[in-house]
């Protein structure tokens, strides 16, 4: 057996995410891309970051900015996050917060913390592809999380067989890939289920700040706090990210949870990469303090208009038999095309004939179902381009 | 069983590294610290970084600097690394290089790639604490790597029992914690052993550039390349880092290996944190191109003088019965004190009576042996402080 064969088994567990290949598509000339779920770079607070990095590299802070730092994260940023979490209904302390390299890293650590081979993770059907990739490394079984559904704890537990249900993962606000939001009743039902199953809840808040209309719904963690009184009694773990609001390229996210969970994740982080980049945490802290409160309303206006343009264009150009979600925020609209139409084939055809890109929906299902679905992102195109692209997509679907 | 108990077993596997607690010691007033193995922040190329971040956040590059990027890493930096690796005897291509968040992250991914519970990892006795922490998460057995020693492949294999020997890990140049270097004959013997065991070699090159005297010895990977002709046939995986040369706070390291290894690590990185911070890779690239060749000789002069000062002070002030290594580079001198003297107790005494800090050596042994050893770092103190601190330490040892 060669050295490489030694880990062939290990490697085959990890499904190659399609995101990387898709990012490459975006560089082709003339393509209208609704594929990547990425922010519009024209909206980055670049001047704020230029000032922040200049400060961090000035005489007072440079020694700290370029040096090793502690695994928990930069204290002033964690202090800002205590205030931020309070503003969305979550009362917590500094020791309940860990800075991670994007919320993706939090998902990896939570997989490592909770999952042994054969354990069950409850996820949406479809769900975020990156969560499936992160959890897959730890060889779980995925079961379909049915919120407000007709499956009770006993049924989940029976289905889990030998392995235990370790957590339910969800992105309750404007989820990737569907754009859908779990309503208040659904969040409460989820907490009931988690209590019955005695499992954790991983709440992915990546899009939480990007609401374009409708009333904000408290995070699942806020609802559990209201029930239990203290974060130390909560089973919900909140994963936040600056990637969709300030910059993904700096790789700064955070986790909020009971202290024992944070303590274990700090040890994991220390063993896995020591700490997230010091200077990036300092820059995010400065930019968040300077402009988070004005930057987010701007993003909501711009992305909200793009969402409107996409929904209008879908209304105008989609043939009968095509259905789509009406997201109140985030970056995505989810299309269900007639059964028998394959999303991957549709992508090949759309690229070839009208130069429109999107993500076939099948990749977001743990079992590879949902082949007649596609994900469209509206965040990185202006309204005219959105209208043109959706019109073209309508032509392909009619053909 | 509570939610927290669910992962108590998992958590107990991970030994809490002492590094974090030690970093806190450094902030106490009046302490002379030889504890942390950290670069002197006064030597960071801070002006170079200020210019580099300004460029990255200028109009031409800001959209790229703040955006998501590919998991493999920033292409110009990988191109610079192809040249750098060639300069130390390793001929490789762009596809043989992955950028990681420090070489610590490479160690974590390599543990994840190779180790299943019960597998054997061969490591030095003592070895880098962070490597033990990274590998420990995957529940291996550690066996003592004896270079130029009297153990053959059959003996290692027999000792491994049911599990296989998956890799040998070493830092061949000025290792943390001993400061010792593996000579040419030892490196060749290691390659023979790895061929016989059909296992990988993980070469940690964190201190490779910091040689103060003596002739450079080719990296293990360079020696294997000379044997086998192509990196695609090599089992050695080289982990590099900018932490000891340019800045640890940016968290930029790299891995060089055969393409199938890199491909698997790219998938892991994609699932675990998507990519290392885009802007940091751009900044490191610019600073490396601008000043790596002048910065390293400066570091060698300054750190070399500090090493000299420490060796002289040890000569002047240590009582009989204390032995120490004579490192040709790096940041560490390793002391063996008389059997019966406990390093941890000595630290408590040294802090209390003379305010001198260091790391007790026991933590660097997988089996907790080596209690009569201590690690001293000379990188972050000037010559006067080193002389004063070692004189005081001598007093404690005489007492």
Question: Domain residue spans in chain A?
Answer: 3-45+293-398, 47-291
Q: Which of B271, B286, B377 to probe by mutation at the A interface, max A CB count within 10 Å? A: B271
> CATH top-level class for A3-45+293-398?
alpha beta
Residue A2 pLDDT greater than 60, yes or no: no
Residue A36 pLDDT greater than 70, yes or no: yes
Nearest-Cα residue of chain A relative to residue B246? A66
Q: Tell me which range, A8-22, A27-41, A242-256, is most confidently predicted by mean pLDDT.
A: A242-256
Q: Which of A21, A50, A68 to probe by mutation at the B interface, max B CB count within 10 Å? A: A68
Does the beta-carbon distance from A36 to B68 stay under 8 Å?
Answer: yes
Find chain B residues with C-beta within 8 A of A258's C-beta. Answer: 4
Kindly report, residue by residue over B93-119, the tens digit of the pLDDT: 999 999 999 999 999 999 999 999 999
Find chain A residues with C-beta within 8 A of B63's C-beta. Answer: 41-42, 44, 46
Does the beta-carbon distance from B136 to A71 stay under 8 Å?
Answer: no
Q: Which of B101, B108, B270 has its CB closest to that of A133?
A: B270
Structure tokens at A377: 């992102």
Beta-carbon contacts below 8 Å between A and B:
247
Stretch 219-278 of chain A: residues touching chain B, C-beta under 8 Å: 235, 243, 247-251, 258, 260-261, 264, 267-268, 270-278
Does the beta-carbon distance from A62 to B46 stay under 8 Å?
Answer: yes
Name the band, by pLDDT with cuts 50, 70 and 90, for residue A26.
low
Q: Which of B273, B284, B377 to probe by mutation at the A interface, max A CB count within 10 Å? A: B273
> B353 to chain A, minimum CA–CA distance in Å?
27
Q: Which of A20, A249, A279 has its CB closest to that of B71?
A: A20
Domains A3-45+293-398 and A47-291 share a fold: no
Residue B12 pLDDT greater than 60, yes or no: no
Name the band, by pLDDT with cuts 50, 70 and 90, for residue A160.
confident
Q: pLDDT at position A25, please?
A: 60
Q: Which of A3, A5, A23, A277 to probe by mutation at the B interface, max B CB count within 10 Å? A: A3
Give the residue among B234, B176, B239 at the shortest CA–CA distance from B204. B239
Q: Out of A2-11, A131-140, A380-389, B283-292, pick the least confident.
A: A2-11
CB A179 within 8 A of CB A334: yes
Kindly report, residue by residue over B22-62, the tens digit of the pLDDT: 446 656 788 999 998 899 999 999 999 999 999 999 999 99
Nearest-Cα residue of chain A relative to residue B115? A7
Does the beta-carbon distance from A70 to B23 stay under 8 Å?
Answer: yes
Q: Is the predicted ipTM greater than 0.95, yes or no?
A: no
Find chain A residues with C-beta within 8 A of B200's C-beta. Answer: 3, 6
As a whole number, the mean pLDDT across chain B is: 92
Nearest-10 crossing angle of helices A383-398, A343-354: 110
Nearest-Cα residue of chain B relative to residue A63? B41
CATH architecture of B46-291: 3-Layer(aba) Sandwich (3.40)
Does the beta-carbon distance from A68 to B273 stay under 8 Å?
Answer: no
Find chain B residues with C-beta within 8 A of A198's C-beta. Answer: 1-3, 6
Mean pLDDT of A120-127: 97
Strand, coil or helix: what is A391? helix
Does the beta-carbon distance from A198 to B1 stay under 8 Å?
Answer: yes
Q: pLDDT at position B29, please?
A: 80
Mean pLDDT of A222-239: 98
Q: Out of A58-67, A304-313, A341-350, B24-33, pick the least confident.
A: B24-33
Q: pLDDT at position A150, please?
A: 77
Q: In angstroms, rounded to a whole number, what is the distance separating the alpha carbons of residues B273 and B70?
A: 11
Q: Which of B58, B70, B101 has its CB closest to that of A273?
A: B101
Residue B15 pLDDT greater than 70, yes or no: no
Mean pLDDT of A67-86: 97
Find chain A residues with C-beta within 8 A of B166's C-beta. Answer: 6
Does the beta-carbon distance from A272 to B134 stay under 8 Å?
Answer: yes
Tell me: domain B12-44+293-398, CATH 1.10.10.10, correct?
Answer: no
Residue A65 pLDDT greater than 60, yes or no: yes
Kindly report, residue by residue over B232-270, the tens digit of the pLDDT: 999 999 999 999 999 999 999 999 999 999 999 999 999
Q: What is the CA radius of gyration of chain B?
A: 21
Q: pLDDT at position B176, please?
A: 97
Mean pLDDT of B323-352: 94
| Separation in Å, CA A391 to CA A137, A177, A226, A304, A339 | 40, 21, 46, 20, 21
Q: pLDDT at position B24, please?
A: 61
For chain A, say whether B154 makes contact (Cβ under 8 Å). Answer: no
Q: pLDDT at position B150, please?
A: 77
Q: pLDDT at position A82, please?
A: 98
Q: In angstroms, rounded to a whole number, what is the distance separating the alpha carbons of residues B238 and B222?
A: 10
Q: pLDDT at position B26, please?
A: 59
Q: pLDDT at position B161, please?
A: 85
Stretch 164-193 of chain A: residues touching chain B, C-beta under 8 Å: 164, 166
Q: Which of A36, A114, A258 has its CB closest to that of B6?
A: A114
Mean pLDDT of B83-88: 98
Residue B372 pLDDT greater than 80, yes or no: yes
Mean pLDDT of B163-179: 96
Which contacts (CB < 8 Å, 24+ apart) does range A12-15 have? A13/A136, A13/A137, A13/A139, A14/A133, A14/A136, A14/A137, A14/B264, A14/B267, A14/B268, A14/B271, A15/A132, A15/A133, A15/A136
Q: Would you identify the CATH topology of the domain A47-291?
A: 3.40.640
Does the beta-carbon distance from B42 to A20 stay under 8 Å?
Answer: no
Q: pLDDT at position B194, please?
A: 97
Q: pLDDT at position B11, please?
A: 29
- Tell me A165's DSSP state: E
* Residue B277: Cβ-neighbour burial (10 angstroms; 0-12, 13-18, 19+): buried
């Amino acid at each position: 057996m060669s050295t490489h064969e030694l880990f062939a088994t290990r490697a085959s567990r990890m499904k190659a995410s399609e995101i990387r290949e898709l990012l490459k598509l975006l560089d082709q000339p003339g393509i209208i891309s609704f594929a990547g779920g990425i922010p519009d770079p024209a909206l980055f607070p670049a001047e704020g970051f230029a000032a922040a990095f200049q400060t961090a590299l000035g005489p007072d802070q440079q020694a700290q900015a370029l040096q090793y730092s502690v695994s928990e994260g930069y204290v002033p940023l964690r202090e800002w996050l205590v205030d931020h979490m309070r503003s969305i209904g979550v009362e917590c302390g500094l020791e309940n917060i860990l800075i991670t390299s994007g919320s993706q890293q939090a998902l990896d650590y939570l997989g490592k913390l909770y999952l042994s081979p054969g354990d069950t993770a409850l996820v949406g059907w479809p769900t975020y592809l990156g969560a499936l990739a992160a959890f897959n490394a730890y060889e779980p079984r995925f079961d379909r999380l049915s919120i407000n559904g007709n499956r009770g704890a006993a049924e989940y537990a029976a289905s889990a067989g030998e392995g235990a249900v370790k957590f339910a993962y969800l992105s309750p606000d404007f989820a990737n890939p569907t754009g859908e939001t779990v309503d208040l009743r659904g969040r409460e039902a989820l907490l009931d289920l988690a209590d019955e199953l005695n499992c954790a809840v991983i709440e992915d808040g990546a899009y939480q700040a990007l609401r374009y209309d409708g009333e904000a719904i408290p995070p699942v963690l806020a609802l559990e706090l209201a029930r239990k009184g203290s974060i130390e009694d909560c089973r919900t773990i909140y994963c936040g990210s600056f990637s969709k609001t300030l910059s993904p390229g700096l790789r700064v996210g955070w986790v909020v949870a009971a202290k024992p969970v944070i303590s274990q994740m700090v040890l994991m982080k220390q063993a896995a990469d020591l700490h997230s980049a010091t200077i990036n945490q300092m820059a995010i802290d400065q930019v968040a303090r300077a402009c988070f409160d004005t930057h987010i309303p701007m993003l909501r206006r711009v992305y909200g208009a793009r969402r409107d343009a996409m929904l209008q264009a879908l209304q105008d150009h989609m043939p009968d038999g095509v259905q789509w979600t009406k997201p109140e925020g985030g970056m995505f609209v989810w299309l269900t095309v007639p059964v028998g139409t394959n999303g991957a084939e549709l992508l090949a055809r759309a690229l070839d004939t009208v130069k429109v890109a999107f993500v076939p929906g099948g990749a977001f299902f743990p079992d590879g179902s949902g082949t007649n679905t596609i994900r469209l992102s509206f965040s990185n195109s202006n309204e005219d381009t959105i209208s043109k692209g959706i019109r073209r997509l309508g032509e392909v679907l009619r053909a």
